[in-house]
A and B are shown apart, each in its own frame.
Chain A
Amino acid sequence: MSNSGASIEVKNLRKSWGAVEVLSDVNFGIEPGGFLTLLGPSGCGKSTLLRLICGLDEVSGGQILINGADVAGKPAAERNLGMVFQNYALFPHMTIEENISYGLRIRKVPKAEKKKSVDRVAELMALGNLLDRKPGQLSGGQQQRVALARVLVSGRPLVLMDEPLSNLDAKLRVEIRSEIRSLNKKLGITIVYVTHDQSEALSMSDRVVLMNAGVVAQVGTPKELYEHPANTFSATFIGTPPTNILDSLEVAFPADLKIAGGLKLSECLFGIRPESLAFPAEDLDFKVRARVQSIEYEGKVFLIHMRTDAGTAIVVSYSGGSVPDEGEEITVGWNRDATHVFSRSDGKATTLVY
């Protein structure tokens, strides 16, 4: 196990299947030891992107730089990276030990050294007493650990993970999530992680690449993505419940409001996180009338689903005492600094001028 990660940089990457372009002009990078997440809804191209990076599919254009060297034309085995597959891809006919040491066997690592490496990762992943079993005899969480061990045993500086937690139950998912995160920090390996779960992405990553329909919607730290969404897609994909998007025409806003970049107020959309919406709205800068449709009790908060007079659905995350009744019409509001502004025509973010 080496203790240093590799840097990875993707430049102008394209991939098309025949005439269908599934990835266009993808750019991002991560420094050694970083944790990068490719996030997006299913079908956005994130798994394809991962397969391009690991070399299981060929790129149609652009560069993949690992430690500065372009590997786009190299076969998968020469890229010095490991991969954890969604269904773990453990060899069902081999024991756990054989599974973990398979790569070492292929590379003809001497027996004593092989044994040492296997024992080390087995201890690291708490698999010591399972080495003689077959994958079918293990629970999902244990299989996941074996898949991680198989990648770690080779000491690859870069590890790719394709939705590795999606087959686990919620509790185990949180557990292994922090385990992966601590491995990343402890061993210094670089991780490129694919998920459709935005909370997973926010909690684990140093850097998130948000993708939509084959293009990168936004690249940034989890905090940047949450606090400064670059477009309406980013705003509505990150955070639960998603950001409310309201047309400026149905909102009462302060008279002195101006938009940067010469955009007219009538061409704007406002984005407000559910937790920033509040009522009563007398003292708030922005106001909108809406009728309560349904109320969900979430423990800490109530999620109040409402519909504005113009028919836009909004959600308020409400933690106050008196909950309105269903069907009641109330005014909700929010403050200037909680407002995200987007252009209606292309969805891109812009800013308010004070």
Chain B
Amino acid sequence: MNKRLPLGLGFVLLVMPCSLLVAFTHYPAVRALINSLWNNASSRRPSKFVGIENYEALIADEKLMQVLTNSGLYALGTIPLAIFLSISMALLVNSKLPATGLMRLSFFMPTMLPLVAVANIWLFFYAPGIGLASQIMNFFGLPTINFLGSTETSLASMMVVAVWKEAGLFMIFYLAALQAVPENLKDAARLEGAGPVRVFIDVVFPLLRPTTIFVAVNALINAFRLVDHIIVMTKGGPDNSSALLLYYIYEVTFRQRDFAYGATLTVLMVAILGVLAAFQFWVLDRKTHYQ
């Protein structure tokens, strides 16, 4: 194993992955940053350097403010909910109940299905009057709600779909972590008189912390990354009530073909995500016990 790789071969091996990385990650990122400092070209005049003019437009953009608020609410809603749900499901399928195999399968199923396809199914669930959600509410004597068609419920409806979609995957990570918690630690706590809830809060949950960080970061990324269901189900509407940042970028860039402003929004989003991820790791890391 000590044999040195010939320099030429090493170069060839590095070029392949590096060129992919540059072509699809680094170059677009740098390009977006550059584009955000130039204005749009038209047939009559070429694009010219405008400095921070595009960024000044950000501040004046009222729609952007609503989209950011939506994205913030969406992240705040989906992340804790997905964590709570995935831990609950993991505890359930890790228990000694019968048919846990079937439960695992059905909890994991949403993860395997493409979001575009399930979004179409959820359209039926949410359909006013005839959809599953309406029928359940009617059964309990509640009035019919147009989930996707009203500004109060559209964002929450999108959050439900997202949590449903991602919780199954996070459950798998929690399940693996749960099975790595030594049984004798739980026994020791039980002998000291801790009930099942105390055992979970004092012993199990702290040991799941590395998984929780991982899941929280992934849920955060998903909150900004996954907008397929919005494109399929609401197109950001009604009245932008369910528009998220990435969906707005898509709209500005490819519908309105305002590439300069789209690039500016992209830089903003990357910056927000970077800060949030760093903050999450920094805060949670300090209190975490890694084995």
Contacts and interface: CB of A to CB of B under 8 A. Distances in A.
Interface string A88-110: 01011100000000110011000
B182 interface: yes
Nearest to B206: A93
B193 interface: yes
Contacts of A86: 184
A79 to B, nearest CB: 9
Contacts of B203: 91
A96 to B, nearest CB: 14
Interface in A148-197: 150, 154
Given A92-B289, A93-B206, A93-B289, A76 B182 contact: no
A76 B192 CA distance: 8
Q: Is the interface of A mostly helix, strand, loop or mixed?
A: loop
A56 B202 contact: no
A276 interface: no
A56 B193 contact: no
Contact of A76 (B184, B185, B191, B289): B191
Contacts of B291: 92
B193 A107 contact: yes
A83 interface: yes
B191 to A, nearest CB: 5
Contacts of B192: 77, 102-103, 106-107, 154
Given A87-B182, A102-B202, A92 B191 contact: no
A140 B90 CA distance: 33
A274 interface: no
A89 B190 contact: no
A82 interface: yes
Interface of A: 54-56, 76-77, 81-83, 85-87, 89, 91-93, 102-103, 106-107, 134, 150, 154
Interface of B: 182, 184-185, 187-194, 198, 202-203, 206-207, 209, 289, 291
Please provide the 10 A-B residue pairs with the shortest distance between their CB atoms, ordered closest to farther: A103-B192, A77-B193, A93-B289, A89-B188, A89-B184, A93-B206, A85-B184, A106-B193, A76-B191, A106-B192
